[in-house]
Structure 1
Amino acid sequence: MLHTVNKSPFEKNSLDTCLAHAKEGSAILLIEDGVYGATKGTAVSEKVQEAMSKFTVYALEPDVKLRGVANKVMDGVKLVDYAGFVDLAVENDKVQAWL
Structure 2
Amino acid sequence: MLHIVNKSHRQTTSLASCLRLAQDGHALLLIEDGVYAATTAGAASAGLAEALARLKVYVLRPDLEARGVAAALAEGVTAVDYTGFVDLVAEHTNNQTWL
For normalisation by structure 1, the TM-score amounts to 0.95
* Structure 1 match to 2:59: 59
Q: 2:36 is paired with a residue of what secondary structure?
A: helix
Q: How does 1:62-81 map to 2 (within 5 A)?
A: 62-81=62-81
Separation of aligned partners in 1, 2:70 and 2:41: 13
Q: Which has the higher helix share?
A: 2
Query: Structure 1 stretch 44-53 or stretch 62-71: which is displaced more?
Result: 44-53
For normalisation by structure 2, the TM-score amounts to 0.95
Taking every aligned residue pair, what percent have the same amino acid on both sides?
Answer: 50
Separation of aligned partners in 1, 2:8 and 2:41: 15
Q: Which runs of 4+ in 1 moved over 3 A?
A: none
Unmatched 5+ stretches in structure 1: none
* Structure 2 match to 1:16: 16
How many corresponding residue pairs? 98
Separation of aligned partners in 2, 1:97 and 1:70: 23
Unmatched 5+ stretches in structure 2: none
C-alpha root-mean-square deviation of aligned residues, in Å? 1.0
Contact 1:5–1:15, Cα closer than 8 Å, also in 2: yes
